[in-house]
Amino acid sequence: MLRVLCLLAVVDSVLLLDSGMLFPRESASREVKELNGLWAFRADISPSRNQGFEEAWYKSRLIESGPVIDMPVPASYNDITQDPSLRTFTGWVWYEREVVVPTRWITDEEIRVVLRVGSAHYYSVVWVNGVKVTEHNGGHLPFEAEIGSVIRKDPTAKCRITIAVNNTLTLETLPPGTIQYMNDPTRYPKGFFVQNIFFDFFNYAGIHRSVLLYTTPKAFYVDDITVVTDFSDNAGLVNYKVSVKGSAAATLKLTLMDKEGHCVASSSGSVGALKVADVKLWWPYLMHENPGYLYSLEVHLTAANDKSTSEDVYLLPVGIRTVKVSSTQFLINNKPFYFHGVNKHEDSDIRGKGFDWPLIVKDFNLMKWMGANSFRTSHYPYAEEILQMCDQHGIVVIDECPGVGIKDIRSFGNASLTHHLVVMDELVRRDKNHPSVVMWSVANEPASEMPPAQFYFKTLIKHTKDLDPTRPVTYITNSNYARDLGAPYVDVVCVNSYFSWYHDPGYLEVIPIQLNTQFEDWYAKYQKPIIQSEYGADTLPGLHNDPPLMFTEEYQQAVLQHYHNVFDQKRKHYVIGELIWNFADFMTVQGSITRVVGNKKGVFTRQRQPKAAAFILKERYWRLANETGKLPYWTNIPIYAMKLH
């Protein structure tokens, strides 16, 4: 009983924001309408970038205030046209689309109609039929607005949705940046300015994820669900809390179903625990013959008056598993888990950071092909559909917020910290129910040796733990173990290092000693498990040299092998994972002469073709899986992967 009460307290602590952000799913009471496709688009190229607001472009059709072009949604706008100024545009761009809303959604006052944007980078303002319905600060998380009252004002009118998006990064955005005006007329054209950034990927912008309309009942609806799972022996436990919005007195019924649709537990009331006999746990890929097992939690709200009965139904996939950290191990379901995986980016040709199913499925096939059991969402939250795939396939995720490039001391100020806390609220609210998410990462390579970093990370990490006491929290460091001021607060030390690349370039022989020292130093100081969260080398596919020279395929292979030798020593003790930088080549700014049309540290090209290093990782990861996962007769191993065994 005490255990149940403790977990219920955990469930309770997550709900700090005033509404939920459940992924829109169709059900008996909910409909979803995708608004993806071609939208009208115009960049505001006025020197102030403010013409759109001054002239209120949202008040009428966009084409009436100037020329428009076709823009696909979802996609970054940067690589869609031949216009170099749009590629690097900084400021407001305007999107617009007219939508046919089903008549019933308008005439039936009992329907709640919600407009949802999966993500738009960075700051967004949204109007419906010229009426502002919401704005959102932040480029990687969803936001929504109820629009029923606006579209009901004139039921005969089309529903015109206008979204203005501004990609400007400042010292208080996440990631941070600065705008620098170049005022010397002898060197720069009039009004010339640049967007400085402190991170190593292209600042793609636009509407990056799906725009949807969805419905729920209006009188009452399921606003949020939090589940926290546990098990003991054969019994699983799903502690839940459902938050209901609306005025009607409704009855809540919960049913947990297995994969075959059989009810395995049921309950009523907004807070409680479901007990599952003969539980099938959620296991990572390659750790069990049946990974990614998901139950389905049906949350059913009903209310009746003298005339009718109404209901709201929401189905949440639930994986039952636990996560724990000791001083030397990362435990999933009380068994040691070793991360052998990748760091990724949301990045591809033409669509930039735009959501794309073919790309996502291809990436999952590649990760499973190479035996990767995990990835980090470097350096920002990825699309929810990606996490859903991870849940289903058992791919373990370190979920990172966009706190990348916090290098300027002014980005440790109050305004930055406050925004960072809100972003963590939004991230945890969105991703808390994914069994695949096993750890939060609050930042990547901040200037954690600067004095204000101590208070900043202490506060941020504590806040994240308060939001979700069930998952460990980390940030990714590349600073010296002796000077890192945030490390005392993390649960797992995640270190990036590029020996023989940025340090001692070309000298492969330094890797064993430097990597060994790195691990020994960090462990001696903190006695916390360590993940090598990045390592790698830029490599041009098809470039060869033996003995290995930097940028050749041979050099990337050699770097990996040198690192792996040390990992194999240390993983017997306290090293709990290795994540290659990077899964695939990705686009960067032109500002650095160390980048030739992007960062080439991928083990796959940007088009997802393997470099030689991909085969080294494949062999290693399957070997590691066989050592730790007991899977000789793994049923899902495709024929091509079987050959290795």
Judged by beta carbon, residue 489 or residue 581, the one nearer ligand BDP is 581
Phi and psi based region of residue 96 (left: phi greater than 0; alpha: psi -120 to 50; beta: remaining)? beta
Contact between 58 and 130 (Cβ < 8 Å): yes
Q: Contact between 601 and ligand BDP (CB under 6 A)?
A: yes
Kindly state the smallest distance separating residue 418's Cβ from ligand BDP, in Å: 24
Judged by beta carbon, residue 499 or residue 581, the one nearer ligand BDP is 581
Kindly state the smallest distance separating residue 339's Cβ from ligand BDP, in Å: 17
- Convert residues 177-206 into a mask of x (bound to ligand BDP by CB under 6 A) and - (unbound): -----------------------x------
Kindly state the smallest distance separating residue 509's Cβ from ligand BDP, in Å: 22
Judged by beta carbon, residue 140 or residue 218, the one nearer ligand BDP is 140
Among 162, 239, 441, 496, binds ligand BDP (CB under 6 A): 496
Q: How far apart are CA 534 and CA 64, in angstroms?
A: 50
| Size of site (CB under 6 A) for ligand BDP | 10
Contact between 629 and 614 (Cβ < 8 Å): no
Judged by beta carbon, residue 526 or residue 581, the one nearer ligand BDP is 581
Judged by beta carbon, residue 228 or residue 580, the one nearer ligand BDP is 580
Helix H or strand E encompassing 375:
strand 374-376
> b or e along 494-507 (b: 16 or more beta carbons within 10 Å of the residue's beta carbon)?
bbbbbbbbeeeeee
Q: How far apart are CA 354 and CA 307, in angstroms?
A: 47
Judged by beta carbon, residue 286 or residue 450, the one nearer ligand BDP is 450
Judged by beta carbon, residue 445 or residue 553, the one nearer ligand BDP is 445
Helix H or strand E encompassing 38:
strand 37-43
Kindly state the smallest distance separating residue 380's Cβ from ligand BDP, in Å: 11
Judged by beta carbon, residue 166 or residue 444, the one nearer ligand BDP is 444
Q: Contact between 500 and ligand BDP (CB under 6 A)?
A: no
Among 445, 484, 553, 578, binds ligand BDP (CB under 6 A): 445
Tokens (6 digits) for 362:
């291809």
Kindly state the smallest distance separating residue 371's Cβ from ligand BDP, in Å: 23
Provide the terminal-to-terminal Cα distance of the chain, rounded to the nearest Å: 46
Judged by beta carbon, residue 92 or residue 382, the one nearer ligand BDP is 382
Q: How many CB atoms lie within 10 A of CB 627?
A: 10
Kindly state the smallest distance separating residue 445's Cβ from ligand BDP, in Å: 5
- The beta-carbon contacts of 385-389 under 8 Å, at least 24 apart in sequence, are 385/355, 385/357, 385/360, 386/360, 387/431, 387/434, 387/436, 387/437, 388/23, 388/317, 388/434, 389/360, 389/361, 389/364
Strands 493-496 and 473-477: parallel
Q: Contact between 441 and ligand BDP (CB under 6 A)?
A: no
Q: How far apart are CA 215 and CA 112, in angstroms?
A: 5
Q: DSSP code of 291? A: -
Tokens (6 digits) for 343:
């760091």
Q: How far apart are CA 97 and CA 127, in angstroms?
A: 11
Kindly state the smallest distance separating residue 604's Cβ from ligand BDP, in Å: 15
| Amino acid identity, position 267 | S
Judged by beta carbon, residue 557 or residue 599, the one nearer ligand BDP is 599
Kindly state the smallest distance separating residue 347's Cβ from ligand BDP, in Å: 11
Judged by beta carbon, residue 175 or residue 206, the one nearer ligand BDP is 175
Catalytic residues: 445
Among 433, 441, 444, 557, binds ligand BDP (CB under 6 A): 444
State the residue number with the nearest CB to ligand BDP.
200
Q: Contact between 604 and ligand BDP (CB under 6 A)?
A: no
Task: Tell me how long the chain is.
Answer: 645
Q: How many CB atoms lie within 10 A of CB 592?
A: 10
Q: How far apart are CA 22 and CA 513, in angstroms?
A: 48
Best CA proximity match to 13, nearest among 468, 473, 470, 472: 468
Kindly state the smallest distance separating residue 393's Cβ from ligand BDP, in Å: 25
Q: How far apart are CA 269 and CA 272, in angstroms?
A: 7
Q: Contact between 347 and ligand BDP (CB under 6 A)?
A: no
Q: Contact between 478 and ligand BDP (CB under 6 A)?
A: yes
Q: What share of the chain is helix, strand, coil (3-state, %, to 5)?
A: 25, 30, 45
Best CA proximity match to 446, nearest among 437, 455, 434: 455
Which residues, 6 or more positions from 92, have their beta carbon under 8 angstroms from its beta carbon? 43, 44, 49, 50, 52, 53, 164, 165, 166
Q: How far apart are CA 557 and CA 511, in angstroms?
A: 13
Kindly state the smallest distance separating residue 363's Cβ from ligand BDP, in Å: 18
Contact between 395 and 389 (Cβ < 8 Å): yes
Kindly state the smallest distance separating residue 504's Cβ from ligand BDP, in Å: 15
Q: DSSP code of 100? A: P
Q: Contact between 344 and ligand BDP (CB under 6 A)?
A: no
Residues of this chain that interact with ligand BDP (CB under 6 A) are 200, 379, 444-445, 478, 496, 534, 581, 599, 601
